[in-house]
């Protein structure tokens, strides 16, 4: 009696198992975790700024009871501005820090692996160039905004609790503090602002990733000098400021597109300043995202073709 012969495995079965294996290993998730592990300064920089803000605020609480009594005697607009000012400064400082961290991360993201030749090891793994570039782009576009939001929220909560303890010890009513700060509404507005900033700055991050993948050295100069040269040539040849206006709009125009103008600081509720429909209807947003997609595609191609330095 002849023994049964095992049929050869179908090639289609092997192909079908490949996506299942990739899904099980979750290359995107592990690539993002790798980025955070290799670039701990992304988290550390935000925590350092939060610590500095808390240290400065804790010193300022020496005069907090007097400022609070003066604020309570003023008109509602001035009262809100005085009480809410330290929390706004803390949020703005950490948002600015997040942007700076994102810029230097993007400049180094694809350049460092070519410089230390670790790209040879990472390319030996079953992770595509597309997954790698998208995981690096997700740090400034997704991870850093969420991390910044969490740190801002925690910092402002500590500031609020510390202020309450100081005011209670000084015999000052804390109800105005909690009413004017509007912690929940401010947190939602800050999350909205961080999402808006990430989308508006997407082409900047994409351009920096392209330069990081292309430049052999001095990626920052290669990213900045061509743009400056275009502006200088335009000014000399045509005496027009279009490049400068374009750069200005790309760096600070997100606020005018996403928020209701409030020149006199009269808005007592931060949620009343949000204007998401105006932002979503802005041509600058969609043109920027289109350029960001093109830059990311170029970064993927460059990572596939460029050699270690």
3-class SS letters over 18-78: HHHHHHHHCHHHHHHHHHHHHCCHHHHHHHHHHHHHHHHHHHHHHHHHHHHHHHHCCCHHH
Q: What is the pLDDT of residues 115-131, one digit of tens each?
A: 888 888 888 888 899 99
Neighbours of 132 (CB within 10 A): 26
Residue 250 lies in a domain: yes
Domain boundaries, position 111: 27-305
Q: Is residue 158 part of a domain?
A: yes
Residue 121 has what pLDDT? 85
Write out the H or E segment, with its range, that includes residue 162.
Answer: helix 144-169
Look over the chain and give the mean of its residue pLDDT values, rounded to a whole number. 87
Would you say residue 36 lies in a domain? Answer: yes
Does 37 fall in a domain? yes
Say yes or no to pLDDT of 217 above 90: no
> Model pTM?
0.87
Position 118 in a domain: yes
Q: How many helices and strands in the chain, by DSSP H and E?
A: 16, 0
Would 19 be classed as within a structural domain?
A: no
- Distance between CA atoms of residues 224 and 307, nearest Å: 23
How would residue 16 be classed by pLDDT, with cut points 50, 70 and 90? very low
- pLDDT > 70? residue 23: no
What value does the mean pLDDT take over residues 248-264? 85
Q: What is the pLDDT of residues 148-191, one digit of tens each?
A: 999 999 999 999 999 999 988 888 888 888 888 888 889 999 99
Q: Which residue has the higher pLDDT, 280 or 12?
A: 280
Give the pLDDT score at 179.
82
Q: How far apart are CA 292 and CA 309, in angstroms?
A: 26
CA atoms within 13 A on the CB side of 141: 21
| Within-domain flag for 280 | yes
Strand residue runs (E) in the chain = none
Overall number of domains in the chain = 1
Q: Is residue 15 a part of any domain in this protein?
A: no
């Amino acid at each position: 009696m002849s023994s049964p012969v095992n049929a050869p495995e179908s090639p289609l079965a092997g192909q079908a198992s490949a996506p299942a294996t990739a899904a099980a290993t979750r290359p995107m998730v592990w690539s993002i975790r790798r980025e955070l592990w290799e670039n701990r300064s992304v988290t550390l920089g935000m925590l350092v700024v939060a610590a500095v803000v808390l240290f400065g605020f804790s010193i300022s609480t020496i005069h907090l009871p007097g400022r609070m009594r003066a604020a309570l005697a003023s008109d509602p607009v001035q009262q809100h501005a005085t009480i809410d000012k330290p929390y706004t400064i803390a949020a703005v400082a950490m948002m600015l820090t997040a942007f700076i961290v994102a810029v230097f991360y993007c400049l180094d993201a694809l350049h460092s692996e070519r410089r230390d030749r670790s790209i040879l090891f990472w390319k030996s793994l079953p992770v595509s160039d597309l997954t790698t570039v998208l995981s690096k782009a997700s740090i400034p576009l997704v991870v850093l905004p969420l991390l910044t939001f969490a740190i801002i929220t925690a910092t402002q909560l500590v500031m609020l609790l510390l202020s309450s303890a100081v005011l209670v010890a000084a015999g000052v009513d804390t109800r105005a503090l909690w009413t004017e700060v509007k912690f929940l509404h401010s947190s939602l507005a800050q999350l909205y602002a961080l999402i808006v900033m990430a989308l508006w700055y997407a082409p900047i991050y994409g351009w920096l990733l392209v330069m990081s993948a292309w430049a052999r050295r001095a990626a920052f100069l290669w990213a900045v000098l061509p743009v400056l040269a275009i502006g200088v040539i335009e000014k000399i040849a045509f005496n027009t400021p279009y490049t400068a206006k374009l750069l200005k709009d790309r760096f600070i125009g997100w606020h005018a597109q996403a928020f209701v103008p409030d020149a006199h600081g009269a808005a007592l509720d931060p949620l009343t300043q949000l204007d998401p429909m105006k932002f979503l209807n802005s041509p600058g947003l969609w043109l920027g995202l289109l350029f960001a997609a093109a830059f990311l595609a170029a970064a993927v191609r460059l990572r596939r073709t460029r050699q270690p330095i």
